[in-house]
Amino acid sequence: MSFIELSLYEITKYFLTPVLALIIAMFLFAFFALGMFVLEWGQRIYAERKLQAYPNILLHYVKQTPLCRFEDLELMILKRLEPFRIVSRAAPMLGLVATMIPMGPALLSLSENNTKNVSENLVVAFSAVITALLAASITFVILTVRRRWLLTELRIASDHLSGE
């Protein structure tokens, strides 16, 4: 290998641990968020069955903030959805990175007939991508449903802002 190729190979090896740590953090966040989401969903269903309104966070903000504008509510929604959007978009990319980094050593081991090292690297590669895709899938579902909930709340809050 040339110096540049060898340098790139050596540099990428140092990224595997931080990428795996980020994937684990995103996976833990996704499951924590899933628990919170299921809890909120249950509360919304319970409130609907009791013919009560689920507490509207945006309306509460409008009532507490005298100079509240529609743009403030939009920013509030973006702020609440941002972590889910980041995880649902970044996790698959990190999963790909975590898949490709161990593939280099696995291919080198394959050329040396070291099947044990090949299998160890492939286990890391595929486990990382599966974990990342699960985190992305969970957060994407939460993002989609929460966006609908918040836009419904925005409609009610904006009616209150306009004085209806």
> Whole-prediction pTM value?
0.88
Cα 91 to Cα 6, 24, 27, 46, 87, distances in angstroms: 27, 10, 9, 33, 5
Q: Please say if the pLDDT value at position 150 is more than 90.
A: yes
Rounded distance between C-alpha atoms, residue 5 and residue 9, angstroms: 6
- In the chain, where the domains are located: 3-161
Considering the chain, what percentage of its residues have pLDDT values greater than 70? Answer: 99
Q: Give the pLDDT score at 110.
A: 82
Q: Please say if the pLDDT value at position 140 is more than 60.
A: yes
Rounded distance between C-alpha atoms, residue 6 and residue 18, angstroms: 21
By CB atoms closer than 10 A (0-12, 13-18, 19+), residue 118 is buried
Give the H or E element holding residue 40: helix 16-49
Q: Please say if the pLDDT value at position 8 is more than 90.
A: no
What SS3 class is residue 30? helix
pLDDT one-digit tens code per residue, 52-88: 889 999 999 998 988 889 999 999 999 999 999 999 9
Cα 157 to Cα 58, 73, 101, 127, 151, distances in angstroms: 6, 8, 48, 44, 10
Q: Give the pLDDT score at 10.
A: 84
**Predicted confidence band of residue 113 (pLDDT cuts 50, 70, 90):** confident
Q: Give the pLDDT score at 164.
A: 55
